[in-house]
Structure 1
Amino acid sequence: MDQSFDCWLQNRVDLLKNKGLYRTLHTMNSSPGPEVNVNGENKIVFSSNNYLGLANDNRVKNAASQVAHEFGVGSSGSRLTTGNTKWHARLEERIAQFKQTEAALLFSNGYLANIGVLSSLPEEGDVILSDAFNHASIIDGCRLSKARTIVYKHVDLIDLEQKLMETQKADRRFIVTDGVFSMDGDIAPLDSIMQLAKKYSAYVIVDDAHGTGILGEFGRGTCEYLQVKPDVMIGTLSKAVGTEGGFVAGSKELIDFLINQSRTFIFQTSLPPSVCAASCQSLEVIVQGKQLRNALVTNIWAVTEGLTKIGYRMKGTNTPIIPLIIGDSYKAVKFSQMLHEKGIFAPAIRPPTVPKGESRIRITVTAEHTIEEINQLVDACELIGNELSVIR
C-alpha cells in the first residue's frame, strides 16, 4: 500500500469529522473553580468533576505544599522499589477507615485500579457480569481478563438474574458495576444487586468514582448510601476528593493479592507524597463536615428543577451529573458552542462515550456554583434549546 503513515491517520481523523465525532483540547489557564479561564476567556464551568471544590481548597493545597518541600515533587519509582513513603501508608489507612474496610491500596489513577482488579482477580473459567453502561476502564479491564465477560442491560435486575442463572456452571461469577454512572448520573441498585449475588453465590465489585465524597451520611459513597458492603470497592481521588489517584478497598487478603498480582500496581510509578498528603486532608474535610455536601445538594436541586420547568428530558438521580440528552452529535456540538458564546463551558459528549443517538451535554454541578451562575445556565439552555428545537 503506497499511502503514507500520516495520510492514513489523517483519513481516519477525517472520518471522525464527517461523523461529528472530532474532538479538540481546551486549555484551562486558571485554578479549578466555578469560573475558569478557558482558552483565554473566562467561562462558568459546568463540566468539572471537582464536585466539592476541594481541588482548590487552601487546606488541601497547604498540605500538599508542605510535603512537597519535604519529599520533593516526584515519587521516583514504583511502590515496590523507591516509591513507597509514610504518606502512601497514611493515605491507605485513611481510605480504609473512610470506606470502613480492613485495608486499601493506592493506584496512580482510577483507570489503573479498575484494570488492575479485573485483569488479575477473575481467572479462566470465571464469568464477569458487567453493566452495559459501565465506565471504559471497567470495559478495558474485562477485555484484559482471562474470564468470560457477559454484559447485562443497564441496571436491569431481571436481565442480571437471568444471566446469573445461565452461568451457574462457571467456577466463579463477578458482578461489576459503577456506583454512580458517569454519563447518566444514575445510581446502581447495589442493595438489590447484593441480594442477587448472595442468592447465586457471586462476588460484587463496585467502582464508586463518582459516589465517593458525595453520597451517604459521611460522604463515604454509594455503598454507605445504600448500606451495603461489596467484596471489592474501587474509587478515585480525582473527583470529589479533588486530588489525584485511584484506590481499591477491601479485605487484607484482597490487598495482599493485588500487591503481588496486579500489573498496574506493580509496574506503575507511585503517586507523589504531596498528593497523598493532600488527599488525607481532603478526606478529613469530607468526613468532618456536611456543609459542602449540603451546598452541593442544594445546587443539584436548583439546576434540576430549573431545567425540568423549561421542558428538558434529563437522566440522573440525586447526583451532580445532570445529562441533557440532545440526540444528534452535530446538534450537541452546536449546543455546546452556543453555550460557550454565552459564557458557559460544557462540552458535548458523543459516541463512543455514549450510545449512538444519545449525544448530550453532560452538566455537572459543584458546591461552589452560585444561584446566579445556575440561573445563567438555565436561561441559556432555554434560549438555545428553543432555537435548536431540542426541548421536549
Structure 2
Amino acid sequence: MDKIIAQSKHLCPFLKTTSTAALRSLANAKGLAAKAQGCPVMASAMEQRRAAHSSKVTTAPATSAAPVHSTPRGGAVGSVEFDLPRPTALDAEHVTEKDPATDYESVYKEELDRKRKDKSYRFFNNINRLAKEFPRAHSTSEAEKVTVWCANDYLGMGSHPEVLRAAHETLDKYGTGAGGTRNIAGHNRHAIKLEETAAKLHGKEAALVFSSCYVANDATLTLLGQRFKDLIYFSDEMNHASMIQGIKHSGARKVIWKHNDLADLEAKLAAVPKSTPKVIAFESVYSMCGSIAPIEAICDLADKYGALTFLDEVHAVGMYGPHGAGVAEHLDYDYYASNGTLPLSGRRTVMDRIDIITATLGKAYGSVGGYVAGSVNFIDWIRSYAPGFIFTTSLPPSVMAASTAAIQVQSASNASRRAQQHNTRALKQRLAERGIPVIPNPSHIVPVLVGSADLAKQASDMLLKDHGIYVQAINYPTVRIGEERLRITPTPGHSEELATELVEALEDVFTRLSLKRVADWKAQGGHCGVGTDTNVKPIWTDTQLAS
C-alpha cells in the first residue's frame, strides 16, 4: 500500500504535502480513490495512466476497486482497496541517463549542517553510571569521575539492592531475553506480575506493559483515533513527542489548547457537540519546565463535555503520592495515606476519575519500559488491536522483575520521595540566593534558564570539563528556541556537599559566560516565569514532608 501512496504523492501536487499516515488512513477507509476522482489534476492523471497501460496491464473498472495485498512482518495478512494501477515495469520508460538518481547522502548532510548551524545539533556525552557510587559516574576513562545531576533515575532505584537482587536472580534463572512477542513465547510470570502491580498502583482494573512509554503512548493514542469515528483530540501544547506522534499517526483531528489553560480548553471543548467522541490528552508533570497540570479541574471539564481523560504520569510515578502512584494520587494524599479509611464526602478520587493512565518504568523506577492502565475491557482492546504491542518483542524477564521490585519498594515507603523533595527545595533556594535563574515550578525539576542554544551547550561543556559535573543542555525541539536551559534533577543521593559543588560550579560558569541572571531577565520583563515574581508553592506540603 505504501508504494501506491508514494505513487499518488508523486502524481498529485496537492498530496505531496499530505503525510503518509493521513493518506494511509484514507486508503484504509476506502476514501482516497474517491477523493482523488474529485481532483482535476489527479483524476486526469489517473485516466491518462489507465489509457497508457490498458494494452499491457489489466486493471479493474473505474467503478470498482482492485485489491492490493501486503504482508507485514509478523505474518499478519491485510488488504486495502485502492483505485490506482499497480506500479509496473512500464515505469522504466521514464528512466533515462539524463534523469539522475537522488543524492541521498547530500540530503543527510544538508539536514545535519542545518542543525549544526542553528546550534541544535545534539552531542552525546559518554557517561557510565556507577551502581555502587550513585550519583557518580565515569566518562570515557574509568579514572575520569563525574557527578551526574541530570538523570531521570530520580530516586536512584537503578542501583537499589532489592531491585538489583530481583534482576540478578531472574537473569540467572531465565536468561537475557523474553523469547519473542507476548503472543509468541514472550508471555511469562514476570509480565503478569508487573501488570498486576502497575494496575494496583493506580487503582485500575488492568495494565499492559510496553517496551517504553513512548511506544505505549503512540500505540494507545493511534488506536483510539483510528477506531473511534470522528474522534477529536484535545492536546496540551506542551505534550511529549510520543503523544504528539500517536495523535498524528491516528489520523484523527487534533485541537491544541494552551498549556494548563482551563479557560482555553473549555472554550474549545464547548465548540464541539457532546456526542462527538473526544480525548483530553495531557501530562501530570511536564519534564522540561516542571509545571503540574490542574488534573481535577480537567476531569470536571471531561465530565461536562463527554471526554475521555488520557494522563501521562511518566515524570510523576514514584515521585508523588503516599505510594508513588503520581500526581493524581497525591491530590488525595491523606485518603491514600490512610489506605482509604478517611472519608471523601461521597466523591470519587482524582485517580479514579482518570480513564487512561500511562507511565514509565525507566525514570523513578530505575528500569526500562512503560505501561498503560485502565479498565479491563480497554486494556484487552489495546492488547488485541494495537500493532505497537502485538508486534514488539517483550521486555526481558529480569527487567520486568526489577521493575516490579522497584514499584513495590516505592509503594511501601515515602523515605526516598521525601529526601528527594528536601534536596530539591534546598537547591532551588541556594540558586535563588545567587540569582541563578530557575524556572519556577511546584515539582522536583530544576530548570536553569539560559536562553541560547550555543551558550547552554558551552555551559554544559564547561561544567563537565572544568568541574566534573554532568548537566545536559536542553535545546530545540525539546524546548522552544530562546528557552534553552540546563535541566537539573536532584536525587536522594545528592548530598549537601555535592550540592555545594554544583552551586559553586554554576556560579563560575554564569560569571565566565556572562549568562543572564534573575535580575537581567526581570529587567527585560521576565521570561519563562523567571523575573516575574511568580509565587509557586511546592506540591509536597510541609506537613506531607514531615509526616
2:320 maps to amino acid: L
- Deviates most, 309-318 or 98-107: 309-318
Q: TM-score, normalised by structure 1?
A: 0.97
For the Cα contact (< 8 Å) 1:118–1:141, is it kept in 2? yes
For 2:195 and 2:138, the matched residues in 1 are separated by 34
Q: Match of 2:423?
A: 299
1:23 maps to amino acid: R
- The reply on whether 1:19 has 2:118 as its aligned counterpart is yes
For 2:505 and 2:102, the matched residues in 1 are separated by 46
For the Cα contact (< 8 Å) 1:215–1:225, is it kept in 2? yes
- The reply on whether 1:369 has 2:470 as its aligned counterpart is no
For 2:120 and 2:275, the matched residues in 1 are separated by 39
1:303 maps to amino acid: L
- The reply on whether 1:289 has 2:388 as its aligned counterpart is no
Aligned-pair CA distance for 1:11: 2.1
For the Cα contact (< 8 Å) 2:129–2:135, is it kept in 1? no
C-alpha offsets along residues 238-287 of structure 1, whole Å, 9 cap, x if unaligned?
Answer: 00011111001111011111011111111110111111111111111101
1:102-113 matched pairs, under 5 angstroms = 102-113=205-216
For the Cα contact (< 8 Å) 1:124–1:148, is it kept in 2? no
Match of 2:272 among 144, 147, 167: 167
Q: Match of 1:144?
A: 249
For 1:156 and 1:30, the matched residues in 2 are separated by 39
- The reply on whether 1:255 has 2:379 as its aligned counterpart is yes
C-alpha offsets along residues 107-154 of structure 1, whole Å, 9 cap, x if unaligned?
Answer: 011100000110002333011011111111011111111321111111
After the TM superposition, list the runs of 4 or more consecutive aligned residues in structure 1 that deviate by more than 4 angstroms: none
Distance 1:81 1:316, change over 3 A: farther
Q: Match of 1:10?
A: 109
Q: Match of 1:312?
A: 436
For 1:3 and 1:259, the matched residues in 2 are separated by 41
C-alpha offsets along residues 36-67 of structure 1, whole Å, 9 cap, x if unaligned?
Answer: 11233211111100111010112111101111
Q: Match of 2:515?
A: 389
Q: Match of 1:35?
A: 136
Aligned-pair CA distance for 1:30: 3.9
Q: Match of 1:50?
A: 153
For 1:169 and 1:231, the matched residues in 2 are separated by 17
Aligned-pair CA distance for 1:383: 2.2
SS at match of 1:233: strand
For 2:138 and 2:187, the matched residues in 1 are separated by 36
Q: Match of 2:305?
A: 200
Q: Match of 1:74?
A: 177
For 1:284 and 1:364, the matched residues in 2 are separated by 23
For the Cα contact (< 8 Å) 1:320–1:366, is it kept in 2? no
Aligned-pair CA distance for 1:167: 2.1
SS at match of 2:128: coil
1:177-326 matched pairs, under 5 angstroms = 177-227=282-332, 228-229=350-351, 230-326=354-450
Aligned-pair CA distance for 1:316: 4.9
Aligned-pair CA distance for 1:295: 0.9
Aligned-pair CA distance for 1:308: 1.3
Q: Match of 1:125?
A: 230
For 1:25 and 1:335, the matched residues in 2 are separated by 15
- Deviates most, 216-225 or 231-240: 216-225
Aligned-pair CA distance for 1:312: 2.9
Aligned-pair CA distance for 1:386: 2.8
- From the CA coordinates, give the structure whose radius of gyration is larger: 2
SS at match of 1:59: helix
Aligned-pair CA distance for 1:170: 6.2
Q: Match of 1:154?
A: 259
C-alpha offsets along residues 179-213 of structure 1, whole Å, 9 cap, x if unaligned?
Answer: 11111111111011111111111110001000000
C-alpha offsets along residues 331-384 of structure 1, whole Å, 9 cap, x if unaligned?
Answer: 111111121121110111000111111011111111111111111111211222
For the Cα contact (< 8 Å) 2:215–2:388, is it kept in 1? yes
Unaligned runs of 5+ in 1: none
For the Cα contact (< 8 Å) 1:127–1:170, is it kept in 2? no
2:112 maps to amino acid: V
SS at match of 2:450: strand
For 1:311 and 1:24, the matched residues in 2 are separated by 28
For 2:450 and 2:441, the matched residues in 1 are separated by 18
SS at match of 1:253: helix
For the Cα contact (< 8 Å) 1:76–1:82, is it kept in 2? yes
For 1:124 and 1:383, the matched residues in 2 are separated by 57
For 1:169 and 1:202, the matched residues in 2 are separated by 8
For the Cα contact (< 8 Å) 2:275–2:306, is it kept in 1? no
For 2:322 and 2:309, the matched residues in 1 are separated by 22
For the Cα contact (< 8 Å) 1:108–1:271, is it kept in 2? yes
Match of 1:333 among 457, 462, 483: 457
For 1:162 and 1:382, the matched residues in 2 are separated by 45
Identity over aligned pairs, percent: 35
1:7 maps to amino acid: S
- Deviates most, 38-47 or 63-72: 38-47
For 2:120 and 2:430, the matched residues in 1 are separated by 29
2:257 maps to amino acid: Y
SS at match of 1:121: helix
Paired residue total: 392
- Deviates most, 337-346 or 167-176: 167-176
Unaligned runs of 5+ in 2: 1-99, 333-349, 519-547
Match of 1:176 among 246, 269, 281: 281
For the Cα contact (< 8 Å) 1:127–1:167, is it kept in 2? no
For the Cα contact (< 8 Å) 1:75–1:272, is it kept in 2? yes
Aligned-pair CA distance for 1:31: 2.8
For the Cα contact (< 8 Å) 1:64–1:278, is it kept in 2? yes
2:294 maps to amino acid: P
For 2:107 and 2:300, the matched residues in 1 are separated by 51
Distance 1:316 1:100, change over 3 A: farther
Q: Match of 1:96?
A: 199
SS at match of 1:248: strand
